[in-house]
Structure 1
Amino acid sequence: MLRDERGSVAPLIGLMFLVLVGCIGIAIDTGRATMVRARLVNALDAAGLAVAARLATTDYNADAKKFVDANFAANFVGATVNTVTAKPNADKTVISLTATATMPTAFMKLFGKTSVDVTATTEVTRSSKGLEVVMVLDNTGSMDISNSMGPLKEASKLLVNQLFGDQTTAKNLYVGLVPFSQAVNIGVTRALWTDLNTVTRPYYPVYWTGCVEERPSGYDVTDDIPSLIKKDTIFKSYYSPNSNSNNWIVSWWWSTYLNINYAPVQGQTGPGAFCPVTLTPMTNVKSTIVTGIDAMKAGGSTFINVGAVWGWRMLSPSWRGLWDGDMLTNKLPLDYNSKNMNKAVILMTDGENTFNKNNYTSYGLLSDKRLGTDDIIEANKVLDTKLSTVCSSMKAKDIIVYTIAFNDPDDSTKSLLQNCATSTSFYFDAGDSESLKAAFTAIGGSLSNLRVSR
């Protein structure tokens, strides 16, 4: 007997419809989960870079979670981040990160699946590139008047801590320090770089404090090494002459003695009047560079170009073998563009170039006309031009130049420093102490040279 089976198709169609709806729902929820994972990966990459830059991090998981939360949009398709783990390798050069998030389902909940877990992983590697960096820091009298030496020391040590992290002796990291005023102090142990003049330099070298005058014939803006073959490349020892304002030779009956008084700023007298503390050649020992920073004292006028050119000489491979200490041990500086090695200078000042009348400097007295003029304004312009020349020469050698204008110097000095920097983003206008710390921290982050490796 024949039966009408047309009605039996309806349940089948209904079942197929439910399956189709389920597949569409699964596809939609899967797509949403894929979007969550992509967003989670981006947040995890950003967190990895941020955590890796914080070399002193002790709780990697907590720091990573904080940065993931900051970079993962709140309630993105309703998802919430649950756990974030960050695990460094033994030498903290590689950090592996994992994050999980829970996303509520939109359609799968109809079938009893109310949420899905999404997992993302990434790995951040600190670049294996090495770094030679020299901090050229203003130690002039204005830094004392404004009580800025303390903040400068604090800010520069922030950068040192950032670069070294918890290492006491770093690998492929070398940091040097050049304090400057109206001269730079190369250190009394480097007398062979000078003219060894005992005729016009009374009591030399016993009372020589280590500062030198800058060289004539254009060698004041070059990285030429001192050589007996080229007389003008030899440095003249810095000896502030005895005068009514700087009375440091006093006759007393039959004896002559020196009255060298290193009092604050304007009270400083002697043959080394306003000579800053000795520079610190590049070292990979953290305590050595910190000691150099702590020793800095303020006094004297501002000759930015002199500080800059000595920063360059510390990085120039032409000077390899002349510097002692860790630089000699490690055969530094390396050649320009050495594989996996960067060179950088951080130049900071709080004021414009200033050649004061009757002020003995690394260019002698203004009346000596060693800058081609005895006019203060014109002499300062010459110093500015010399700074620009040194900056251009360093950048031509692929030395990265960072500059910091601190405590609001005049607009021309800010422009000079901005043009000196490798790029405008490497120039910092730090109007106060907190901005100075932020500038050094930003430079430290830039020098960390991080990359996402996988």
Structure 2
Amino acid sequence: MQAVQQAATNFVNYVYANSSFSSATRISIVPFAAAVAVDPTTYRNASWIDQNAQSSYHWTNVLNASGSNFSNRFDIFSKLKSANPNWGWAGCLETLPYPLNVQDGAPNSSNMDSYFVPLFAPDEPGDGSTSYADYPDPNGTTYRSYNSYIADTDGSYNGKCGTKNSATSYLPLEGQACKYVNPRNATSNTALGIPNGPNFMCSTQPLVTLTNNTTALKAAISNMAPSGSTNIHEGFMWGWRTLSPLSVFTSSPTIGSPPAAYATASSSSNATAINKILILMTDGYNSWTSNPNSPNGSLYFSTGYFRNSNPLNAKTSTANTRLPPANQNVSDGTSARNALDALTAQACSNAKAVNISIYTIAFSVSSDPIDSAGQALLQNCASSASQYFLANTSDDLIAAFQKIQSSIGALRLTQ
């Protein structure tokens, strides 16, 4: 992480001190792990977020039963924040449905599923008192919860949920919304190195949209810390969205002026054309952690669970329509990775089609190497063979950024 921060800081310094770069150059920074966060204060009421729970994905895994009176997930966050000040919405957003999640268009009222749903990790069965909970389901199976952060009860809302009984199965306990009305035994624990709570897997600092404010850029770099799984697809897509003149950062609330138009084939050789460049650096491969000891099949992620609950009957479905058609029935870590790889590859291809120049860096250290499939994904994502870098040491990583900054500067001077 120190090498990443040094390399990125050196890059910012180089861009704004070297005459090869225009003084109008702007940079965005998108930290990513299992999900990507925007500033939760700035974007709480953004028009492109599903504020009114009109997306068909809004209540997935949360049965907003009659009487709970939650109008959206933000209402649940408000209740939870009153029980624990750290449980307000942290700014993460869930993955859009396929194929919107490999494109850069803005939400459109003709399709409410095109709006971004705030990431909300449901409380899994348990009393919230331990880092994980073994729950004996009435079907005779003992399941394991890694994100139990309040005590579960069952029954209808009548001022509070009713009393838990042994006849209530895992999924109805997980999905009921009434338990959030008066959260019981709200507890902060850590499972698998990740804090429990409604922001489970939302572990990164908020992204920074295009700016020439070097203080803000360097602060974002210095505040980054490793945590959680690796979701290259979401990191790439939010990086692309910060550059896109079509997506969500084209108007207020945002920082600075909106992204410039895409260069066309005829304008790309013009000295006044705006070059859009995306540098994707990761120290891992796409990973979505499985949990075979749960009916959900996995830990929560920006794409939900392997098996998401139908909010009408609390039954799980293996068909996850946030994934490509050939990859929707994920069942383990391997099939989940294949699905995320497929999304990443399509996103890279679509971004290159609008003349975004992509550099990729695989930071593969011997203690935690990126395998050949992960390296191939990044190599194919890059715009050319010379724009892919494999860094095996901290010095290699810093050298890769140096080569990229020199390459970008040379590109401008030759136009």
Residues 183 and 362 in structure 1, CA contact (< 8 A), matched pair in contact too = yes
Residue 303 (str. 1) matches residue 260 (str. 2): no
Q: C-alpha distance in 1, partners of 2:192/2:29? A: 21
Partner residue of 2:108 out of 222, 227, 234: 227
Partner residue of 1:248 out of 142, 149, 155: 149
Shift of 1:183: 1.0
Q: C-alpha distance in 1, partners of 2:412/2:99? A: 42
Shift of 1:434: 1.0
Partner residue of 2:43 out of 168, 179, 190: 190
2:196 is matched with 269
Q: How does 1:362-441 map to 2 (within 5 A)?
A: 362-368=302-308, 369=318, 370=320, 371=323, 372-376=328-332, 377-407=334-364, 408-441=369-402
CA deviations over 1:161-201 (Å, ceiling 9, x no partner) = 1111289x972110001111111112222233222344563
CA deviations over 1:356-392 (Å, ceiling 9, x no partner) = 1221111001122313113221221111111111111
Residues 219 and 232 in structure 1, CA contact (< 8 A), matched pair in contact too = no
Shift of 1:420: 0.6
Shift in alpha-carbon separation, 1:259–1:180, aligned structure 2, 3 A = farther
Q: C-alpha distance in 2, partners of 1:302/1:451? A: 33
Cα root mean square deviation, aligned: 2.9
Q: C-alpha distance in 2, partners of 1:260/1:422? A: 47
Shift in alpha-carbon separation, 1:267–1:412, aligned structure 2, 3 A = closer
SS at match of 2:104: coil
Shift of 1:404: 0.4
Partner amino acid, structure 2, of 1:248 = Y
Residues 344 and 399 in structure 1, CA contact (< 8 A), matched pair in contact too = yes
Q: C-alpha distance in 1, partners of 2:405/2:339? A: 32
Shift in alpha-carbon separation, 1:262–1:190, aligned structure 2, 3 A = farther
Tell me the matched-pair count: 302
Shift of 1:355: 1.6
2:251 is matched with 322
Shift of 1:258: 8.3
SS at match of 1:249: coil
Q: How does 1:286-365 map to 2 (within 5 A)?
A: 286-319=214-247, 321-322=250-251, 324-327=253-256, 330-337=257-264, 339-357=272-290, 358-365=298-305
Residues 9 and 221 in structure 2, CA contact (< 8 A), matched pair in contact too = yes
> Could you tell me the percent identity over the aligned residues?
31
1:54 is matched with none
Partner amino acid, structure 2, of 1:230 = N
Residues 356 and 366 in structure 1, CA contact (< 8 A), matched pair in contact too = no
Shift of 1:422: 0.7
Residues 170 and 284 in structure 1, CA contact (< 8 A), matched pair in contact too = no
CA deviations over 1:207-261 (Å, ceiling 9, x no partner) = 111101111141111101123222111111101111242232359xx96378575
Partner amino acid, structure 2, of 1:322 = S
Shift in alpha-carbon separation, 1:387–1:217, aligned structure 2, 3 A = closer
Q: C-alpha distance in 2, partners of 1:290/1:325? A: 18
Relative contact order, higher structure (CA 8 A, sep 6+): 2
1:281 is matched with 209
Partner amino acid, structure 2, of 1:185 = A
Partner residue of 2:26 out of 166, 174, 177: 174
Q: C-alpha distance in 1, partners of 2:252/2:244? A: 11
Q: C-alpha distance in 2, partners of 1:297/1:430? A: 19
Residues 177 and 280 in structure 1, CA contact (< 8 A), matched pair in contact too = yes
Shift of 1:267: 3.8
Q: C-alpha distance in 2, partners of 1:440/1:256? A: 47
Shift in alpha-carbon separation, 1:352–1:331, aligned structure 2, 3 A = closer
Q: C-alpha distance in 1, partners of 2:235/2:397? A: 19
Structure ranking higher in strand proportion: 1
Residues 314 and 333 in structure 1, CA contact (< 8 A), matched pair in contact too = no
Shift of 1:264: 9.8
1:203 is matched with 76
CA deviations over 1:282-314 (Å, ceiling 9, x no partner) = 101111111111121221111111111111111
Deviates more, 1:182-191 or 1:443-452: 443-452
Shift in alpha-carbon separation, 1:433–1:261, aligned structure 2, 3 A = farther
Partner residue of 2:11 out of 159, 163, 169: 159
Shift in alpha-carbon separation, 1:166–1:421, aligned structure 2, 3 A = closer
Residues 247 and 270 in structure 1, CA contact (< 8 A), matched pair in contact too = yes
Q: Gaps spanning 5+ residues in structure 2: where? A: 54-69, 82-87, 125-144, 153-159, 161-181, 291-297, 309-317
Shift in alpha-carbon separation, 1:394–1:267, aligned structure 2, 3 A = closer
2:163 is matched with none
Shift of 1:421: 0.4
Partner amino acid, structure 2, of 1:362 = S
Deviates more, 1:301-310 or 1:336-345: 336-345
Q: How does 1:94-105 map to 2 (within 5 A)?
A: none
Q: C-alpha distance in 1, partners of 2:233/2:97? A: 14
Partner amino acid, structure 1, of 2:76 = Y
CA deviations over 1:324-371 (Å, ceiling 9, x no partner) = 4443xx232333346331000000111111121221111001122313
SS at match of 1:242: coil
Structure ranking higher in helix proportion: 1
